[in-house]
Amino acid sequence: MNDNDQLEAGGHATAAREHVYGFNRATMWERDQIPAETSDQLAEFADLTAALPQAISQLSSTLEQALTHQVLSMDSMTDESDPAMAIGVARLHLEEARGLAVNLHKHLNAARNATAHIISQDVDDGQESMS
């Protein structure tokens, strides 16, 4: 069993967020990256977003199961008093998010396809790079 197998669902979600933040920090000032590297990164993000619709559906199902199998109530920090109503609203938003994730995957994959065959002539040593 590796470390990934030992993480609970919340741990995986937190780790994914932290990795994306790390990517953002690492690429914030990147100026010398060749398009082939960008294409590889787009492929990784396309793969990530391809998994989001299933994750979103599973979150929605988890909420539905909680409604069925648990005694739920609302805390005092909301005007909503009905957990079933709150879960219904959340599930509507999740269904919308699922569709958006499908579209995001399509766009990232198209961007990767558009950049996959760009050849970059290295300015420093004149060597050609292509992935």
Write out the two tokens for 122.
Answer: 């290295």
Confidence (pTM): 0.80
Distance, in Å, from the CA atom of 87 to the CA atom of 66, rounded to the nearest integer, reads 9
User: By C-alpha distance, which of 60, 31, 28, 53 is closest to 105?
Assistant: 53
Q: Which residues contact 39 (CB under 8 A, 6 or more apart)?
A: 112, 115, 116, 118, 131
* Closest to 46 measured CA to CA, from 98, 111, 91, 100: 111
Across residues 12-41, what is the average pLDDT?
92
* Domain limits, the chain: 1-31, 36-129
pLDDT of residue 1: 45
- Going by the DSSP 8-state scheme, the letter that residue 40 receives in this structure is H
**117 phi and psi, to 5 degrees?**
-120, 20
Summarised one tens digit per residue, pLDDT across range 54-82 is 999 999 999 999 999 999 999 999 998 99
* Selection from 97, 8, 10 nearest residue 60 by Cα: 97
